[in-house]
Amino acid sequence: MASSNADTFFIATPIFYVNDVPHIGHAYTEVAADVLSRWMRQSGIPTWFLTGTDEHGQKIMRTALANGVTPREWADRLVEQSWKPLLKTLNLANDDFIRTTDERHETAVKKFLTLLHDKGYIYQGEYEGFYCVGCEEYKPAADVLEGEGEFQGSKLCAIHSRPVEVLKEENYFFKMSTFQQDLLDLYANQPDFIQPASVRNEIIAFVNRGLDDLSISRSNIDWGIEVPFDADHVTYVWFEALLNYITATGWGTDDEAFATKWPAVQLVGKDIARFHAVIWPAMLMAAGLAPPKKVFAHGWLLVGGEKMSKTNLTGIAPTDITDVFGTDAFRYYFLRAITFGSDGSFSWEDLSARYEAELANGLGNLASRVIAMVHRYREGVVPAMPEASEADQAISRVMADAVAAADTAMHNFAPHEALAQLWRIVESVNGYITEQEPWVLAKDETQAERLDAVLYTSLDALRALAVTLSPFMPATTEKLWVGLGADHSLGALHDQTIPEAGSFGALPASSAIAELAALFPRIEQDS
């Protein structure tokens, strides 16, 4: 098997199905992966971030035909007009964007199929079962419900609440059942392979019930990658789509590049955890490749108590939020308000309240008042730090502890906890300024050194916040960094190392600070 690359961080989102435009549920996954990759990269860890689009399968073929275009035309339109623009809307710093219609993907998929066929893991047979077009998956009996109301007498997909189809066709099968014990051994030997624990337990229970072989081809559609040993079949969309994680990294085309990147951390929604934690590692085992480092399944975004869905008219476009509150507020809100790994409810009221309280009145007001006071009392120059009082030392301890705790949280895939830790700095410094009353100190020349200490302590805390919050809010923190004059005194923000950010006293004295516009402008609310 390939080496583990323990000292690298490769994170991949699921590749998103281009049957429709993206909603904030898709954006949530993208932002989480981006923040994690930025944090690891700024911690000095070689990092690679992959995202992309899944473009084959029956659902896309039917949607394209309904819109009077070819499947390729439909996929191209959605990718270029909706999915790639999402990268800019969310300010993502991905290293690659793969499409399953890319030649590099098709070439490697055919090579992978041939490898497994030659090794005896693929055979031809007949299959009959309940098929959900929405899932692009044959559904086991446990995932099929009896229809009610308008669907009385029908069988429904438990995820989509839509009727399934009964399909019977000759397919090629992958001997997934062969790997049942290997998978259970993987889960036992690597307890953190599947996270969170609730999903891990579900996956283990599923595999313990026994695995069936997997149908991996379709003969009733022609929109897909041709099976290399049978031109009458195309590859099952889920089987070939999973391969994007290695086809994008060079497997089958650039072995050297692949060896430096794989294996990946797979960030997925919990509804597709089974594909990534069962089918995918079994495929890799069959090919003699290392499984992913980790499969982390985050929860659903709920709107009105329902899973985010265009079908159910609960989909909200990311631009509906970013056009009002800005991209950084979007990125902050979803990773602060929702416990990562659990379901979370979105509401406009909560977003607005957090924007005002935590961003505008919390961080934004802190930055504005500190920089304004340095201009007012010290002509825009960072003062030297005199001997620290207990109050000053208390802030330095909060900085060190919060940054260390945030770093631990991020390595544990808990961005919500990391932000909670960093906000301890915001709240502590706001309280510190209120207690120290620098506006009073400024009126007494005998308190000049004390005023210097308060101003320097506050400025250096803002420096630490700019560095550690930059993965979450890259545009806002860049404005703060420039406002602190740190771009001239310390260099580029992205070159600052996060684990060292909590060390007090890094901001050079005597350096000039700039003016700072409001980081989070007030939002006019409709009455």
Q: Over its length of 527 residues, how does the chain's per-residue pLDDT go in tens digits?
A: 434 566 899 999 999 999 889 999 999 999 999 999 999 999 999 999 999 999 999 889 999 999 999 999 999 999 999 999 999 999 999 999 999 999 999 999 999 999 999 999 999 998 777 777 767 666 777 778 887 777 777 878 777 677 887 777 789 999 999 999 999 999 999 999 999 999 999 999 999 999 999 999 998 888 999 999 999 999 999 999 999 999 999 998 899 999 999 999 999 999 999 999 999 999 999 999 999 999 999 999 888 666 655 554 457 999 999 999 999 999 999 999 999 999 999 999 999 999 999 999 999 999 999 999 999 999 999 999 999 999 999 999 999 999 999 999 999 999 999 999 999 999 999 999 999 999 999 999 999 999 999 999 999 999 999 999 999 999 999 999 999 999 999 999 999 999 999 999 999 999 999 999 999 999 876 54
- Is the CB of residue 335 less than 8 Å from the CB of residue 419? yes
Return d(Cα 13, Cα 20) in angstroms, integer: 18
Return d(Cα 372, Cα 17) in angstroms, integer: 48
Structure tokens at 381: 């120059």
Return d(Cα 330, Cα 321) in angstroms, integer: 7
Domain ranges in the chain with CATH number 1.10.730.10: 349-500
Q: What backbone phi and psi angles, to 5 degrees, belong to 179? A: -105, 15
Q: In what order do the strands lie in the sheet with 306-307?
A: 306-307, 301-303, 344-345
What is the DSSP pairing of strand 122-132 with strand 165-174? antiparallel
Return d(Cα 419, Cα 406) in angstroms, integer: 7
Return d(Cα 160, Cα 154) in angstroms, integer: 13
CATH assignment, 349-500: 1.10.730.10
Helix axes 448-469, 390-411, angle to 10 degrees: 0
Say what the pTM is: 0.91
Q: What is the pLDDT of residues 212-251, one digit of tens each?
A: 999 999 988 889 999 999 999 999 999 999 999 999 999 9
Ramachandran category for residue 305: left, alpha or beta (phi over 0 → left; psi -120 to 50 → alpha): left
Residues forming the active site: 23, 26, 132, 135, 157, 160, 307, 310
Q: Respond yes or no on whether the N-terminal peptide bond of residue 263 is cis (omega within 30° of 0).
A: yes
| Chain centre distance of CA 73 | 28
- Is the CB of residue 419 less than 8 Å from the CB of residue 332? yes
CATH assignment, 9-345: 3.40.50.620
Domain ranges in the chain with CATH number 3.40.50.620: 9-345
Q: Locate tokens 């275009």: which residue?
A: 69
Return d(Cα 375, Cα 514) in angstroms, integer: 9
